[in-house]
Amino acid sequence: MSKPSDLVQGTLDLLLLKILALEPMNGYAISLRLKQVSGEVLQVSDGSLYPALHKLEQEGWITAEWRPTENNRRAKFYSLTRLGIKQLEKESANWGRLSAAISNIVKLKEA
């Protein structure tokens, strides 16, 4: 089981923001989506998902709303705030720089 601490620091935030940027979702749907899009490479335990979501909410990046699901149960749906959109842009850019830098290093030919 892979824990968020095994992810590159701050990556979970970026993933969650990105997923929520596509459409508002509840926690369960987010966990499915994470698995689905990363091809089960990135596994986040359910127990760590919620604290991460709550942290983003407390930062003011995402906001939550109670809505009925398709099968008519109440669930907490998260969506991005305007601050969250900005944060996503910032973190995407950071990620781009970081991954580019790392792959450059990795590609270095050994002399």
Which residues are at the interface with another protein (CB under 8 A)? 26-28, 31, 45-48, 50-51, 54-55, 57-60, 63, 66, 73-76, 81-83
- What's the min distance (Å) between Cβ of 98 and another protein? 23
Give whichever of 28 and 100 is closer to another protein, judged by the CB atom: 28
- What's the min distance (Å) between Cβ of 102 and another protein? 29
Which of helix, strand or coil describes residue 78? strand
Give whichever of 74 and 97 is closer to another protein, judged by the CB atom: 74
Give whichever of 74 and 100 is closer to another protein, judged by the CB atom: 74
CA within 13 Å, CB half, 57: 15
Q: Are strands 74-80 and 62-68 parallel, antiparallel or unpaired?
A: antiparallel
What type of residue sits at position 62?
I
The C-alpha atoms of residue 38 and residue 75 are separated, in whole angstroms, by 24
